[in-house]
Amino acid sequence: MDINHYKNIEREENIPMIQIIDEDISTLIFLKEALEKKGWMVVTNTDPEKAASQHLEWKPDCVIIIEPLSQGGHGFQALSAIQNHHKQSYVPVVVISLNKNRETRLQAYRLGADDVFEKPLDLEEMIVRIERLLSRKKLFDQFSKPAPRQELTVQVKKPLYVSIIDDDAIIRTMLMKVLNTMDAGFYELQLEAFDNGIQFFDSKRLEKPGQHFLILDGIMPVMDGMEILQKVRKLYMDENLYILMLTGRKSEADIEKALKLGADDYMTKPFSIRELQARIERLVKRMK
């Protein structure tokens, strides 16, 4: 595991989160890697309907939608659904259009897109324009933030069950150590580690009421990570369940399979434990 993988990226506690919605895995992977090199956090969706629902949970700072989406062209439907959630807030939406025509651009703007790009992309220009949108959002949030209430309130933290499933004892130990020191905001973390999927399912941990967060290794000898993922989603189709896949599988086919089976996001090895901790911390703070 390369602990220096992100050492040259300056990190801030509240760095921007970008949500990408695209059924084309090659484009999704390319954009995710490029934007994460900027130090931004990137979450991905291949299912437009799931993207719209998870949008509320993740609370991203910017959304990138590729239109038309490869299987059915539902990009504009996702755009409309997302805009309906923002009556009194501002989340910039960027559309990347595969159709080089004026009507597509006009339709995107009518539905609420803040910017439209056409392929082939000028990646450097796109990043600069996204930075401008993020600056506008930051300014909007500053002026719209309500004044803090003065009365003293006692806040009861909700449990968040974090399950680590990894056959590598060193990784399990490191993750348990760093997550024990993590600031989880409104949640109280209930951590438990498992060295294989059978042990995890036998524990019946997912039957505990409340929010669950799974950190799942993709390649394990007893039960493959894909098998665990598929079984979890089949048995527990619950919006209160978030799954982050850790995998050494970098092929588009493997990443596509993980996302199709229900992984909410992925990180490929080698990765930094510190970066993983920061990523989980930011996701948890944005959860309901």
Segment 232-243, tens digit of pLDDT: 988 876 668 889
Q: Do 95 and 79 meet the contact criterion of CB atoms below 8 Å apart?
A: yes
**Same structural domain, 176 and 128:** no
Report the mean per-residue pLDDT for the chain.
80
Residue 258's CB: how many other CB atoms inside 10 A? Answer: 23
**Same structural domain, 64 and 112:** yes
Statement: residue 9 has pLDDT above 50: no
Paired tokens of 29: 């992977």
Segment 22-44, tens digit of pLDDT: 888 888 889 999 999 888 989 88
C-alpha span between 152 and 135 (Å, rounded): 33
Phi, then psi, of 282 in degrees rounded to 5: -70, -35
Statement: residue 262 has pLDDT above 50: yes
Residue 147, burial from CB neighbour count under 10 angstroms (0-12, 13-18, 19+): exposed
**Same structural domain, 113 and 32:** yes
Give the chain's radius of gyration (CA, Å).
19
Predicted confidence at residue 109, as pLDDT, reads 87
C-alpha span between 259 and 157 (Å, rounded): 30
**Same structural domain, 69 and 169:** no
Nearest by Cα to 24 from 266, 254, 252: 252
Query: Of the residues 81, 110, 144, which one is the last residue of a structural domain?
Result: 144
Domain count, the chain: 2
Q: Does 126 fall in a domain?
A: yes
**Same structural domain, 134 and 234:** no
Most confident of 20-34, 130-144, 176-190, 193-207: 193-207
Q: Does 138 fall in a domain?
A: yes
**Same structural domain, 164 and 250:** yes
Q: Does 106 fall in a domain?
A: yes
Segment 175-189, tens digit of pLDDT: 898 888 887 778 888
Name the residue range of residue 260's domain.
158-286
What's the rounded mean pLDDT across residues 103-126?
87
Assign 3-class secondary structure to the chain. CCCCCCCCCCCCCCCCEEEEECCCHHHHHHHHHHHHCCCCEEEEECCHHHHHHHHHHHCCCEEEEEECCCCCCCHHHHHHHHHHCCCCCCCCEEEEECCCCHHHHHHHHHCCCCEEEECCCCHHHHHHHHHHHHHHHHHHHHHHCCCCCCCCCCCCCEEEEEEEECCCHHHHHHHHHHHHCCCCCCEEEEEEEECCHHHHHHCCHHHCCCEEEEEEECCCCCCCHHHHHHHHHHHCCCCCEEEEEEECCCCHHHHHHHHHHCCCEEEECCCCHHHHHHHHHHHHHHCC
Q: Which of 3-7, 15-19, 57-61, 123-127 has the lowest mean pLDDT?
A: 3-7
Nearest by Cα to 244 from 58, 98, 111: 58
C-alpha span between 199 and 211 (Å, rounded): 20
Q: Does 2 fall in a domain?
A: no
Q: How many CA atoms lie within 13 A of 278 on its CB side?
A: 19
**pTM above 0.75?**
no
Predicted confidence at residue 158, as pLDDT, reads 87
Statement: residue 16 has pLDDT above 60: yes
C-alpha span between 49 and 54 (Å, rounded): 9
Q: What percent of the chain has pLDDT over 70?
A: 81
Paired tokens of 214: 């799974």
